[in-house]
Structure 1
Amino acid sequence: MAASIRKTLLHVETTLIEGGKAAPQPLVMIAAAAVLKNPWAGRGFVEDLRPEIAEVAPELGALLTGMILERAGSGEAVEGYGKSAVVGTDGEVEHASALIHTLRFGNHYRHAVGAKSYLAFCNTRGPANAPIMIPLMDKNDGGRRSHYLTIQMAIPDAPAADEIVVALGASIGGRPHHRIGDRYQDLQELGHDAENPAAV
């Protein structure tokens, strides 16, 4: 393997009651994470990160996508999706960004779930047990606010100073009692073209 992976983790969270009221259907949020050696650790400032991106990112994308799909049951079942990376304290945020902000990583997931939207993301630096935040959005509709969700988790022994945690997140369903409307309603109320939201 190109990636030196120490371990993987599958996190599953199921919400049955929200706001004291039973959910119409359970909200299932899934995160798949890999803890790997930072491929740039101990090398000082590396100008060109592309060789390691090309070697490591596709492997991580395939691995984590497979973990998500196995738990979700299919790509069609995934409604919300996102990605995240946390680099250890000896690394740069650029190292975390490098492994997730590449089509070599994200396209494995995007194609597997049949998505149209970009992958929501978070990239940070922190010590072991640092918060891993995976923002989610609807895989086909970036203005659908019911699927604006965040998976929160931590790994007690990761990332070590010379490691990176890379993660993908998924939701089956949206927030149980979504009632704040979607972006398109705001656009209409503000007198903008809801059919062409990019123009605003």
Structure 2
Amino acid sequence: MPFNIRKIVVFKETTLVEGDKALARPVTLVGVAAVIRNPWFGRGFVEDLSPEQRDGCGELGKVMVARMLEECGGPEAIEAYGKSAVVGGAGEIEHASAVIHNLRFGNHYRNAVSAESFLSFTNKRGGMGTSIQVPIKHIHNGAARSHFITLEFSIPDAPNPDEIVIVLGASSGGRPHARIGDRNQDMEEIAREEAAA
């Protein structure tokens, strides 16, 4: 059975100026959140979470990715992505993880944007209005620190104790005025320093 979705929440912000300097190209961050009823709530310790994963995760991923593409204006507008889950107080963190950490859910997003890099994530427990953080990185170049971004927002009435908030995040570009090297540059510099020592 598909997950019971109480509401879908969209968060969107566009940065035009950072550090008193206008951006050459504004950067838009988008979060699409689905507030679902926790399918394992009230059942005690459930040893095998896979039946609910098989029944609900694929459809949820499909619905959320369609909404994300609609909000962003298509897959070509997404340069960086991430995901997050927050389980309500009466659930287990493993319940949140079960929804976002399987290919039935995540492959919808990866395939839609033709991504090559790992879909970064957070999962935690929290109450209504808790801060939701979505770590975001470049869809192709996982070492590109320019696209290491955290999308943050909250939903005043979610999650209830018997709910899970599932989130997809996207960015149209890197951090405003990004100007630090990537991981590969660091490795090259350190190797040269060690060779010269």
User: What TM bracket, shorter-length normalisation?
Assistant: over 0.9
Q: What is the aligned-residue identity percentage?
A: 55
Give, in whole Å, the separation in 1 of the partners of 2:155 and 2:62: 21
Quote the residue 1:82 is aligned against.
82
Task: Please say if residues 76 and 114 of structure 1, whose CA atoms lie closer than 8 Å, have aligned partners that are also in contact.
Answer: no
Aligned ranges 1:46-195 → 2 under 5 Å:
46-191=46-191
Quote the residue 2:29 is aligned against.
29
Task: Please say if residues 2 and 60 of structure 2, whose CA atoms lie closer than 8 Å, have aligned partners that are also in contact.
Answer: no
Give, in whole Å, the separation in 1 of the partners of 2:63 and 2:77: 18
Quote the residue 1:195 is aligned against.
none
Alpha-carbon shift at residue 126 of structure 1 (Å) = 0.5
Give, in whole Å, the separation in 1 of the partners of 2:165 and 2:56: 13
Give, in whole Å, the separation in 1 of the partners of 2:41 and 2:59: 19
Instruction: Give TM-score scaled by structure 1 length.
Output: 0.94
| Structure 1 consecutive aligned stretches of length 4 or more whose deviation exceeds 3 Å | none
Structure 1 stretches of 5 or more lacking a match? 193-200
Alpha-carbon shift at residue 16 of structure 1 (Å) = 0.4
- Matched residue of 1:76: which SS? helix
Task: Please say if residues 49 and 98 of structure 1, whose CA atoms lie closer than 8 Å, have aligned partners that are also in contact.
Answer: yes
Alpha-carbon shift at residue 29 of structure 1 (Å) = 0.3
Give, in whole Å, the separation in 2 of the partners of 1:144 and 1:105: 25
Alpha-carbon shift at residue 128 of structure 1 (Å) = 0.5
Counting matched residue pairs gives 192
RMSD: 0.9
Task: Please say if residues 35 and 164 of structure 1, whose CA atoms lie closer than 8 Å, have aligned partners that are also in contact.
Answer: yes
Quote the residue 2:195 is aligned against.
none
Alpha-carbon shift at residue 5 of structure 1 (Å) = 0.6
Instruction: Give TM-score scaled by structure 2 length.
Output: 0.96
Give, in whole Å, the separation in 2 of the partners of 1:147 and 1:59: 29
Alpha-carbon shift at residue 63 of structure 1 (Å) = 1.0
